[in-house]
Amino acid sequence: MFALPQPSMERRKFDWRRFSAPVSIASMILAVLSVVLYFSIREHLTARDEANLPRVTVDLGYARYSGNVLPSGVSQFLGMRFAAPPIGNLRWRAPQDPEPKEGTTDAIDFGPTCLATEVTYPTSGQDEDCLYVNVWSPNNTTPDSKLPVWLFIQGGGYTSNANPNWNGSQVVDVSGKNIVFVNFNYRVGLWGFLASERIRKDGDLNAGLLDQRQVMKWVQTHISKFGGDPNHVVIHGLSAGAGSVALHLAAYGGRDDKLFVGAMSESVFFPAQPRVPELEYQFDKTVEQVGCKDDKDQMGCLRGKDIKAIQDANLALPFPGRSANPHFYWTPCIDGDMLRDYPYRLYEKGSFIKMPVLFGTGTNEGSVFAANVATQEGFVSFMKDNYPKLTKNETGPMLQKYPLLAPLPNHNAWFPSTSQAYGETTFICPGNIVMDAYAAANRSSTSWSYRFNVQDNQNTASGLGVPHVFEAPAVFGIDACPTPESFRTYNRPIVPLMMNYWISFIRSLNPNTYKLNGAPAWDAWGGNQSRYVFELDKNRMENVDDGQKSRCRFWESIVEVMEQ
């Protein structure tokens, strides 16, 4: 068992509930994060400091960009276009290459993020013209440097860009200047995931996923100019970004387009992802709300509307037959092309790219999403609001799998069961099931998993446990993203441990190669479903317990109902 030394200093407490309140307001977490982290992810430089930073220029062919060299010796290029603005006639179409631009463009500020669901337009920091990419690389690299590339796909439940512009300079620095880090925006909500046969006929389905694919192609073409190796790209996602990673591994029936060589997923997100015919009602509601219902060319009408008219329809509404809004209304659809079946079916059939993978979750993934229900009926209703095909045929067995659990502070009686059920079906079981598919494909030795169980006193006191993506600061570094105070004090030792495992996987496709000195070996998943438990002074390996295995088998057995 590997124990980490504990620092003794104390600082003011961080209220994690600002970011993950228990949750009738879960969707607000994503919007709050988008605003707060913009101001927290830059190196702590004044405007005068930034004005005096050395500049560095890169020529991408279609444009020349001038970025900054940070005091750490990391080059930072922000707000570069990777696609043409997806506006007007390019709405609900696959992203197009950027138009050529003369002269040199400053790349010292982040571009706007993509418009989120439930946001009133205009709004600061968000716009329809949002397809921007950021790159951090060691200074003075050349195309011959051929450094491994960390390509990060942010989360946000496919309804917002919830983790935009996280600062990649720390991971580049901690790696010994041995990697290049890339992150970007992609279309979300109605803009990225409106679905209909009418879009298939005159546009492209799953535009948000196609934006992600466009960045992967952009990296293949341009990353060498930043010192990166296009033949060594690892994709990494958080939450919906982690779900996206799982979808790209199975995209086009598992076709390997040689866009990446490894994949990492933190909290794989599998909401209901319906087939196109089941989503026609969303399109019908949209064209009615924006005034295009009676137009013979509904797509042309939608593309001709101003941004505000469309954004006013970018809402979360109850699923058919339900009375309460789901957490995630706009999601990828099974389009028969990029996504040819439900993800579980694709993994069951072996229709995915075989490569090294690292997947994992937090212990209490559902705690910031579960309704604070007092009754069994409230538990069932919440699950049906989010997975609307559930009937008594499934909720009966569900209640047997998730009986009344021990109470948690500040919550009603059935909250713990609701939290466990939603967390397992939406995040934990998807990761376990994908890992099992890799084991079945004889990839056990290059598949790793983890459970993050580092405790935070405030989270424990509020009954949240170890919530969704709480580990992010330990992966990206303190202040590279929103950072709870415990990571600055008693949980600080977990940061170098996790960062070096993640960097090691980026560099070598194995978390052990460049792990922190003295850190334990991270065993592969194997047939026993073995995963690393991050627990500060009790870091260890464990096998997934039989209860969770049984519950995950239950969810997998009703894939057609869950649409996962």
| Residue 143 preceded by cis peptide, ω within 30 | no
Please tell me the predicted confidence (pLDDT) of residue 425: 99
Can you give the residue ranges of every domain in the chain?
Answer: 17-92+105-562
Fold annotation for 17-92+105-562: Rossmann fold (3.40.50)
Whether the Cβ atoms of residue 539 and residue 532 lie closer than 8 Å to each other: yes
CA atoms lying within 13 Å on the CB side of residue 41: 27
Which residues pair with residue 68 across a beta bridge?
A: 55, 76
Interstrand relation of 262-266 and 357-362 (parallel, antiparallel or unpaired):
parallel
Please tell me the predicted confidence (pLDDT) of residue 47: 52
Q: Is 40 one of the annotated active-site residues of the chain?
A: no
| Other Cβ atoms within 10 Å of 276 Cβ, number | 18
User: Can you give 128-153 as a three-state secondary structure string?
Assistant: CCCCEEEEEEECCCCCCCCEEEEEEE
Of 447, 481, 506, 400, the residue nearest 162 (C-alpha): 481
Of 386, 443, 493, 348, the residue nearest 9 (C-alpha): 493
Please tell me the predicted confidence (pLDDT) of residue 45: 59
Q: Which residue has the tokens 């988008």?
A: 34
Low pLDDT (below 70) residues in the chain: 1-49
| Other Cβ atoms within 10 Å of 204 Cβ, number | 16
Dmax (CA) of the chain? 69
DSSP 35: H
The catalytic residue among 27, 75, 239, 419 is 239
Structure tokens at 107: 């790349």
Please tell me the predicted confidence (pLDDT) of residue 24: 35
Please tell me the predicted confidence (pLDDT) of residue 46: 53
Please tell me the predicted confidence (pLDDT) of residue 395: 99
Q: Residues, the chain, total? A: 564
Of 33, 340, 296, the residue nearest 206 (C-alpha): 340
Q: Structure pTM?
A: 0.93
DSSP 444-501: GGGEEEEEE----HHHHHHT--S-TTTTHHHHH-BTTB---GGGTTTTTTHHHHHHHH
Whether the Cβ atoms of residue 275 and residue 252 lie closer than 8 Å to each other: no
* Residues sharing a CB contact under 8 Å with residue 50, sequence separation 6 or more, in sequence order: 68, 108
Structure tokens at 340: 């040819």
CA atoms lying within 13 Å on the CB side of residue 548: 22
Distance of CA 414 to the CA centre of its chain: 28
* Residues sharing a CB contact under 8 Å with residue 228, sequence separation 6 or more, in sequence order: 137, 145, 146, 147, 148, 149, 180, 182, 219
What's the one-letter identity of residue 146?
K
What's the one-letter identity of residue 334?
I
Please tell me the predicted confidence (pLDDT) of residue 32: 36
Can you tell me the distance from the alpha carbon of 170 to that of 168, in angstroms, rounded to the nearest whole number? 6
DSSP 168: -
Please tell me the predicted confidence (pLDDT) of residue 22: 35
3-state secondary structure of 159: coil
| Residue 148 preceded by cis peptide, ω within 30 | no
Structure tokens at 320: 């058919």
Can you tell me the distance from the alpha carbon of 405 to that of 412, in angstroms, rounded to the nearest whole number? 11
Interstrand relation of 447-452 and 540-543 (parallel, antiparallel or unpaired):
unpaired
* Residues sharing a CB contact under 8 Å with residue 280, sequence separation 6 or more, in sequence order: 196, 197
3-state secondary structure of 81: strand
